[in-house]
Structure 1
Amino acid sequence: MPTGVALRDVRAQLFDAAERVLLRAGPNGLTSRAVTMEAACAKGVLHRHFTDFDTFLAELVLDRAARFETQAVALRGRAGDGTVVDNLAAALTDLFGPVALGIVGLVISRDGLRARLRQTWPTGIPVLTDATATLASYLDLERQQGRLAANADVHALAPALVGAGHLLFAGQPDPPPTRGDVHALVAAVIVGHTR
């Protein structure tokens, strides 16, 4: 590897490289060597910026989970527009892209990473926990507007949607589920709750 070359925004370059490796090789292929080779830098660069590889992975997961906040804001902004089923189907499709599925698989497969995440993320799995909170917030807005039944339990519907969505997308990565598949899943979960 070349030395003496200044890297701009090292963390972002390493995170982007890790994401590419994760998408290409899966959680088991994500090693410090694979990341630094993908980033075209010396292995020591990663260890200068992160205490160990699990710390690097934890910060990668939290960085990628934070990016989904844009999707959360967009979903809440759609409350009252379109149909509830269409909005939820679009949100699940946006959420369960390859990066999110890769991150969830990474967290599930690495004990050391989960232990590190517990220091700042006490419960649940980043991405899935955020998605559940986002959907519950959106469903609550729809309930306030009268488009969802007043007795709809948004804190039960949201995890049901996220869990079913994860199973649908993780179980069929290529080709991904069709729009119709996602729409049918959402309609089945919230049947009887929309007005």
Structure 2
Amino acid sequence: MPTGVAIRDPRRQLFEAAERLLLRAGPTALTSRAVTEEAGVAKGVLHRHFTDFDGFLTELVRSRIARLEARGEGLIAGAGTGSVADNLTAALIDVFDAVGVAVVSLVIARDELRARLRALGSPGIPLMAEAAGVLRAYLAAEQDLGRVTGDADVLAPTLLGAAHLLFADRESPAPDTAAVHRVVTTVVSGAVR
């Protein structure tokens, strides 16, 4: 690997390399050597920016959580517009994009990573728990507007779990929008006005 060459955004470069590896080979393929090779940087770059490899993975997942929460703010701000089912369908497709599914697999596969994320305040299965929180907040906003009558505390994890089952098989193509929409409308059918 080249040395002495300035890297514009090493953290982003390493995160993108890890995401490519996750997509191509799954969570077991992630090692510090594999990530730095994929990123085209010296191994020391990772350790210069992160305490250790699990620290790197923790920040990778936290970056996905931050992305999710930022998009969730837009979803919540849009309460009262469009159809509830369409809004939920789009949100779930976003949560479970290919990288999102791979990151959930990574979190489930690595005990130390999960422990570190929980120590930072991510309950349950990190990323999934935050996604449930975003859905819960959106449904609560729709309840305040009178468009949803069901219990957001029950609907949010039910939607998330049902969608995860649709997307979890990384070997098969992702479900199409119609399939996700069908699940969403079934789950919320008794709760949406």
CA offset digits 1:42-95 (Å, max 9, x no partner): 111111222211111111110121111232022113211121111111111111
Cα distance in 1 for partners of 2:74, 2:128 equals 17
Sequence identity (%): 56
2:152 is matched with: 154
TM-score after normalising by structure 2 = 0.94
How far apart are the structure 2 equivalents of 1:174 and 1:78?
A: 32
Question: Residue type of the partner of 1:29?
Answer: A
Q: Does 1:111 align with 2:111?
A: yes
Which residue in the other structure is 1:47 paired with?
A: 47
Q: Aligned partners of 1:61, 1:105: CA distance in 2, in Å?
A: 11
Higher alpha-carbon deviation: 64-73 or 167-176: 167-176
Q: How many residues align?
A: 193
CA distance in 2 between partners of 1:112 and 1:136 (Å)? 28
5+ long unaligned stretches in structure 2: none
Hey, what does 1:180 align to over in structure 2? Answer: 178
Q: Secondary structure at the match of 1:60?
A: helix
Aligned pairs for 1:45-194 (under 5 A) are 45-149=45-149, 152-171=150-169, 174-194=172-192
Shift of residue 121, structure 1, vs aligned partner: 2.6
Whole-angstrom CA distance in 2 between matches of 1:134 and 1:116? 21
Q: Take 2:189 and 2:171, find their aligned partners in 1: how far apart are those partners?
A: 26
Change (3 A) 1:180 1:122: closer
Gaps of 5+ in 1: none
- CA distance in structure 1 between the partners assigned to 2:78 and 2:171 by the alignment: 27
Distance 2:176 2:9 in 1: 37
Q: Offset of 1:109 from its aligned partner?
A: 0.4
RMSD: 1.4
Structure 1: 4+ residue segments shifted above 6 A: none
Equivalent-residue separation in structure 2 for 1:157 and 1:142 (angstroms): 12
Shift of 1:178: 1.6
Return the offset for 1:172. 6.2
Aligned residue identity for 1:131 = A
Residue 173 of structure 1 and its aligned partner are, at CA, apart by 5.5
Residues 11-30 of structure 1: CA distance to partner in whole angstroms, max 9, x if unpaired? 12111111111111110111
**In 2 relative to 1, CA 183–74 (structure 1 residues): closer, same or farther, beyond 3 Å?**
same
